[in-house]
Amino acid sequence: MKKKIEHEPQNEKELVETRGFIEKCMEMKDQNMAVFKEVGRHFELLDKYSYMYNYDDIDFYWFILVQPTAIQAAKAEGDRCVAEKNEEFSQRLDEEKSSFLKRIATFQQAFEKITEYKSYDMTGQFEQESHNLE
């Protein structure tokens, strides 16, 4: 979960996926915490009867207990990253929109000049202007 949250979106599709995952991650964390609490109760029961634990199991249990905190920190960072990327993608979209509108205006002006064609003598000029529209 932490890796998925910390992944930096490279495009709008990944941004939407990351945002959706971040929204679901707290619910998933709560489900995992319920499992971790159940495991903790089992450890307490085994403690009650002086069961000898494998040290790797104990280390793993404590590692798992700190993961929700790490996930919450990653979620906060992921929220910040998503907001930042959202702003970046919005700015890029605005720039592309502005550029597109400028190109459309240029094409429209050129088209208006071409529609003024009335004489065969103007063919060379209009041909050149039409060719430059690309």
Percent of the chain at pLDDT > 90 equals: 7
- Whether residue 52 is contained in a domain is answered as yes
Q: How many domains does the chain have?
A: 1
- Whether residue 120 is contained in a domain is answered as no
130: Cβ contacts below 8 Å, ≥ 6 apart? 110, 114
- What sign results for the dihedral spanned by CA atoms 44, 47, 49, 53? positive
- Whether residue 101 is contained in a domain is answered as no
Whether residue 5 contacts residue 71, with contact meaning beta carbons closer than 8 Å, is answered with: yes
- Whether residue 104 is contained in a domain is answered as no
Domain region containing 27:
2-96
- What sign results for the dihedral spanned by CA atoms 19, 20, 25, 30? positive
> What's residue 82's pLDDT?
84
Q: What proportions of the chain, in percent to the nearest 5, are helix, strand and coil?
A: 85, 0, 15
For the cut 70, the answer to whether the pLDDT of residue 122 exceeds it is: no
- Whether residue 25 is contained in a domain is answered as yes
- Burial class for 13, CB neighbours closer than 10 Å (0-12, 13-18, 19+): exposed
Tell me the pLDDT of the chain averaged across its residues. 78
Indicate whether this model's pTM tops 0.85.
Answer: no
- Whether residue 10 is contained in a domain is answered as yes
